[in-house]
């Protein structure tokens, strides 16, 4: 191979090398990756909507040893509106109850032989309330207030004769509670309510002027579970 051909060959290889250099450099250069933005995730817990549930608890009258006391159990229905971290709602509940008290007094006090047995029993009770609370993810802390009622029967037995009368007491209630959404459609709650119910007159058909019951003031603690639609 003569000198001229060697020079041409070297020049050709050189030009080829220069042409390949950018491609090789591109392959060897570190690649830059851009992280994709995180996909928006819908909140797991949404308090807006209808719900139904079951509840039960214990109530005691605020009137000493002779006040009625006992348990109750029933159902709940309601609706919530959630705005940001705030929840507004309405709720109604009704329950069968065995909240009662009995008293025995000597009949001689009223000129009757033997003894007189008296019994008062709240057989059913319920409320219709508004709720307002603050949400911390799946936890709702709330206050509540509204209308309350209780169906009460009073019985008295003397000299082997029993007389009974029933009245529906109505009034107001207020309290507070906490509710926890433990699954997308399920929640559990614990609640305290104070009920102030009006006085009623019993046995007005057999006792002149009747017997005034006095107001009923109940403290109750209850728990429940709700299904949210």
The confidence score (pLDDT) of residue 63 equals 76
Q: Would you write out the chain's pLDDT as a tens digit for each of its 229 residues?
A: 455 444 444 444 454 444 544 444 445 445 555 565 554 444 567 899 999 999 999 999 987 667 899 999 999 999 999 999 999 999 999 999 999 998 776 655 555 666 778 889 999 999 999 999 999 989 999 999 999 999 999 988 877 788 899 999 999 999 999 999 999 899 999 999 999 999 999 988 887 888 888 899 999 999 999 999 9
Q: What are phi and psi of 37, to 5 degrees?
A: -65, 145
User: Quick one: 128 exposed, middle or buried, by C-beta within 10 A (0-12, 13-18, 19+)?
Assistant: middle
The confidence score (pLDDT) of residue 208 equals 83
Q: How many residues does the chain have?
A: 229
Domains and CATH numbers, the chain: 49-228 (2.40.160.20)
Confidence (pTM): 0.76
d(CA 185, CA 3): 89
The confidence score (pLDDT) of residue 171 equals 98
The confidence score (pLDDT) of residue 25 equals 44
The confidence score (pLDDT) of residue 103 equals 77
The confidence score (pLDDT) of residue 162 equals 84
The confidence score (pLDDT) of residue 30 equals 53
d(CA 186, CA 200): 40
Q: Which 3 state secondary structure label does DSSP give 27?
A: helix
The confidence score (pLDDT) of residue 36 equals 55
The confidence score (pLDDT) of residue 46 equals 87
The confidence score (pLDDT) of residue 203 equals 87
The confidence score (pLDDT) of residue 210 equals 81
């Amino acid at each position: 191979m003569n000198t001229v051909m060697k020079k041409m060959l070297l020049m050709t290889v050189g030009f080829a090398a220069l042409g390949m250099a950018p491609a090789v450099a591109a392959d060897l250069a570190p690649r830059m990756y851009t992280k994709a933005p995180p996909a928006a995730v819908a909140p797991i817990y949404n308090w807006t909507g209808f719900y139904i549930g079951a509840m039960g608890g214990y109530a005691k009258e605020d009137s000493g040893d002779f006040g009625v006391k006992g348990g109750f159990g029933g159902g709940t229905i309601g609706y919530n509106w959630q705005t940001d971290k705030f929840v507004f709602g309405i709720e109604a509940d009704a329950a069968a109850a065995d909240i009662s008290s009995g008293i025995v007094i000597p009949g001689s006090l009223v000129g009757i032989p033997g003894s007189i047995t008296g019994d008062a029993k709240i057989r059913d009770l319920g409320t219709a309330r508004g709720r307002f609370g603050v949400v911390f993810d799946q936890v709702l802390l709330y206050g509540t207030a509204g209308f309350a009622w209780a169906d009460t029967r009073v019985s008295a037995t003397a000299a082997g004769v029993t007389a009974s009368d029933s009245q529906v007491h109505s009034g107001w209630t207020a309290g507070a509670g906490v509710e926890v959404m433990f699954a997308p459609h399920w929640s559990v709650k614990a609640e305290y309510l104070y009920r102030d119910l009006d006085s009623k007159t019993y046995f007005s058909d057999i006792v002149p002027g009747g017997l005034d019951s006095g107001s009923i003031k109940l403290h109750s603690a209850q728990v429940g579970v709700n299904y949210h639609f």
